[in-house]
Amino acid sequence: MSYSVVYEDVGQKDYKDTWDYQADIFAKLVDSKKQENQTGDSVKNILPGTLIFVEHPHVYTLGKSGSENNLLLDYIQLQAKGASFYRIDRGGDITYHGPGQIVGYPIFDLEVIKIGLKEYIFRLEEAIIRTVGEFGLAASRLEGGTGVWLDPETSGKARKICAIGVKASRYVTMHGFAFNVNTDLTYFNNINPCGFTDKGVTSLEKELGGRQYFHSVKNKVKRNLQEIFDLEWTNQ
Q: Of residues 200 and 229, which shows the higher confidence score? A: 229
Mean pLDDT, residues 128-157: 92
Helix (H) or strand (E) holding 86: strand 84-87
Domains of the chain with bracketed CATH: 3-233 (3.30.930.10)
* 58-99 pLDDT, tens digit each: 999 888 777 777 777 766 777 777 888 888 888 777 889 999
The pairing of strands 159-169 and 172-180 is antiparallel
Identify the pLDDT of residue 49: 96
**Closest listed residue to residue 181, CA positions, set 156, 140, 215, 154:** 215
Active-site annotation holder among 174, 194, 217, 231: 194
Given a cut of 60, whether residue 40 has pLDDT beyond it is no
Q: How confident is the model at residue 180 (pLDDT cuts 50, 70, 90)?
A: very high
* 15-34 pLDDT, tens digit each: 999 999 999 999 999 998 88
Whether 194 is catalytic: yes
The reported pTM is: 0.91
**Total residue length of the chain:** 236
* 8-20 pLDDT, tens digit each: 999 999 999 999 9
